[in-house]
Chain A
Amino acid sequence: MSQELTKPKLKLAVYWGAACGGCCVSVLDTHEKLLDIVAAADLVFWPIAMDIKYKDVESMPDKSIDLTLFNGAVRNSENKHMAQVLRQKSKILVAYGSCAYMGGIPGLANFFSKNEIFKRAYEETESTVNPEKTVPITSVQVKEGTLEIPLMFNDVFPLNQVVEVDYYIPGCPPQSERLIEVFSVISAGTNLPPAGSVVGANDKTNCDECKRKKSDKKKVKRFYRPWEIQDDKETCFIEQGVICMGPATRGGCGVRCVEGNSPCRGCYGPPQGSSDPGAKMMAAIGTMIDSNDPDEIDEIIEAIVDPAGLFYRFSLPGSILGRKVL
């Protein structure tokens, strides 16, 4: 009798913190391979697909879940609580996707304070009518009792700033093919990479796989947003004046955006040994400005719209910068 059959099925959990849902969809995007996953693993917790309550998870024995894919950033007390519970219940906790890995798109909120966000969202937006200036509060007394909602933190945290993380799978969302690879390795249980590794991605950055023509002539007189120029579809985006995060971004996605004639936005995060891809990319871009005249340089830089959001699109909370200083 083969060992395969005697081997107990893995217990798998998928959870979302501050997320858009795309990461959960990427798990579904494994298509028919999902059947292989459920053949090898029992899904014990997956809020998007299963009706299981938090208290059920809380009552599981410690380390009873073999693998948890935690997607989304930690934005509020609920996210934090579930991160801590799942850490306790899981043998392997994976930060799945850019938000759990680095803070992701929700992490851009770290360029503001909670109060600024509330003011904008509940008072100022063009579609808001809120003369009483009502903002969410965590607990309210009604005649039936006390209603509670989670507390929104001032900061967005990547998962590893809240609990210890075993592995990181980058991507917004991660490529489903890479999830299957990682899942196979983990379910085999042998040759596991060292704890703390980024898995399901390459060592080198995207340029390594990118088929566009590159040279050392990265001198830019004007930066363009992608729609402002006619892309020649074969020259390095940066050499055409379009900022592409490819050089500072770990490969692994298959250079999908560039293959689709759109510059890399940096969702796979920095390569190993580089902690702040936004700073790295800004330093690189700084060397490409083709002028020695301070006024002209200012003008060239002015053409970069929303540099903070551009360079730190996925990485702000996990970067050295972390947030805007308040």
Chain B
Amino acid sequence: MEEPRIGVYVCWCGTNISKMVDVEAVTKEVGTLPGVVLSKNYKYMCSDPGQDLIIKDIKSHNLNRVIVAACSPRIHELTFRNACEKAGINPYLFEMANIREQDSWVHTDRTEATKKAIDLVIGAIRRVRYHEPLQKRSVNVDPATLIIGGGISGMTAALEIANAGKKVYLLERTDHLGGQVARFDLTFPHLSSARQMIRPMIQRVENHPMIIVYLNTELKEVSGYIGNFKARLVFNGAEQPEITFGNIIAAVGLKPFDPSVIAEYGYGKFPDVITSLEFEDKLRAGRILTKYGKEPRNVAIIHCVGSRNKQYHEYCSRVCCMVALKFVHEIRAALPDANIFEIYADMRAYGKGHEEFYAMTTHKQIIFLMYDQQKSLPLIREAYRDDDCNMLIEMNELLSGIDIEVPVDMVILMVNMEAHDNVKEVVRTIGVSLCGNQFFIEKHPKLDPVATTTGGVFIVGTCQGPKDIPDSVAQAKAAAARILATIAQGSVPVEVTTAVVNESFCCGCQTCISVCPYSAVSFDEAKKVSVVNEVLCKGCGTCGGCCPAGAITSKHFTDRQILSEIEGIMSMSY
């Protein structure tokens, strides 16, 4: 190994670091450690002059290792790696010590914070000595895309990609396109027709020369990796020829919550207690009638059915409040004299035009009744023989505090959105993860909301979480843009810090295979050793951690690097 020549740069981050850490003391303390050729501090290391300082020093002092003690590597590791590369040294010979998020921002004692900064930098110094140069790698991208789910999200993404001249395979499990939106009558808050929106879209998808639609088709198996996937499809029980593609969009949507598990509502027992989707069916048919063919005189709409309730689903379904208000408009238009009761737990009107829509709806002569989710749910029961209604809702009205009975002929349950039953199969097939609510997990909740931790696999629409049509469409277009960008590039970079198996140490116990979340580890039966597919590998380190024989190394996170860093951090005794 070459003798390390380390340059250490301590960043002030304006006053972010320098206020709580004595950067001068840190610079001085670490400057004399073995391998350190120079140590400097500067007001903003990430600025152009800061980076230039590093570049100049690498060249003039022949540095072969660089440490910047500054913010989180999540923010500027890439910045400084690029600076190293510009100066002609491998970017992986750089190490960052986080003395802002992990130090200056979280401490109040300047002396202690300064000591901690020194410890962190010493850790980095000990570690960087064992860094090895790593080479960037990339793979070519097949320009075709597989989209799973023919709802509005899937179709939007399909059109976006196909309109750019790239092939799309659109897979739909049922016998028709359109998804949930095809069941809706009007949409909120503009009360425009869902059908008029979705019909032309379906036609464009079906007639598009670059979109191949598979109806009644299931995804059997996906293999490969970003840029180079293969899939086997099953149409009406028969296996189809294999298709190849470079990216995947999962737009598998959701299903409505089944309210029959909530005893209070008597769904399934009372024929005129129906779900919001069943009510949409009535609206699309153009008639609001009870089971016995009569127009209801009293209609109640119960919110948060299966939502915001730990017994069922803790999360909010985000659209039901506005859909309920939309129903008010449609009922009022059809039944000018009916009594309409909005039985709600909270009114959530956060979207564009939603609050205005809510305000407008309050003028429709309706009665808002609030209930307390935590205390007790409204109870629906049969009315007495001489009541002039079919059913009664017993509830404690929260705002008045009074126990009341609400006469009803029809009750609409605003059911929660929940994940499909087969979501686990999809997850296994395409290699994404689920959150506790069984929705797909995005790569980053804020900065990367449509990608997943599996390269080339994107998630859009309600399979990622409950959302309305505009949000679904925005996600679909975002994913399409991401995919078109990689197709335009022709290749995508893949993870550099992957795991490698040392075949001369691997004993073939196969502990590593089932732990890999990316299915990147397999067993070579001929050699009796595990093999890591470096394109699939994301460098998470799980296999390296669990390898009892120490045969798997995670590049850039070797035992030696990690232990040296720990020893460095623990080495000072003050």
Contact = CB atoms under 8 A, between A and B. Distances in A.
Interface of A: 203-208, 214-219, 236, 238, 246-248, 251, 270-275, 277, 280-281, 283-284, 286-288, 320
Nearest to A208: B507
Contacts of A284: 509, 511, 546-548
Contacts of A251: 507
Contact of A320 (B510, B513, B515, B563): B563
B523 interface: yes
Interface string B545-563: 1111111000000010001
Given A216-B523, A270-B550, A283 B508 contact: no
A218 B514 contact: yes
Contact of B550 (A216, A271, A287, A288): A271
Nearest 9 Cβ contacts at the A-B interface: A274-B550, A216-B513, A248-B548, A247-B548, A207-B507, A247-B509, A284-B548, A205-B507, A216-B510
Interface string B516-540: 0000000100001000000000000
A247 B514 contact: no
B312 interface: no
Given A203-B505, A273-B559, A218 B550 contact: no
B510 A205 contact: no
Nearest to A272: B505
B400 interface: no
Contact of B508 (A214, A219, A248, A280): A214
Interface of B: 502, 504-511, 513-515, 523, 528, 542, 545-551, 559, 563
Contact of A273 (B505, B507, B542, B546): B505
Given A218-B511, A287-B511, A280 B506 contact: no
Contacts of A320: 563
8 contacts: A207-B509, A214-B508, A216-B513, A246-B509, A247-B507, A247-B548, A274-B550, A287-B542
Contacts of B547: 280, 284
A217 B514 contact: yes
Contact of A203 (B504, B510, B511, B515): B504
Contacts of B506: 204
A287 B505 contact: no
Contacts of A238: 509
A244 to B, nearest CB: 10
B549 A248 contact: yes
Given A217-B514, A218-B511, A273-B559, A247 B549 contact: yes
Contact of A204 (B505, B542, B559): B505
A275 B510 CA distance: 21
Report which residue of B505, B507, B542 has the largest number of chain A beta carbons within 10 angstroms of its beta carbon: B507
A215 B508 CA distance: 9
B550 A273 contact: yes
Contact of B511 (A208, A247, A272): A247
A280 B550 contact: yes
Nearest to A288: B511
Contacts of B504: 203-204
Given A214-B510, A284-B511, A208 B548 contact: no
B545 A283 contact: yes
A129 to B, nearest CB: 46
Given A236-B509, A248-B548, A280-B548, 15 more contacts: A204-B505, A204-B549, A205-B548, A205-B549, A207-B507, A208-B528, A216-B510, A216-B513, A246-B509, A247-B549, A273-B505, A274-B549, A283-B548, A284-B547, A287-B514
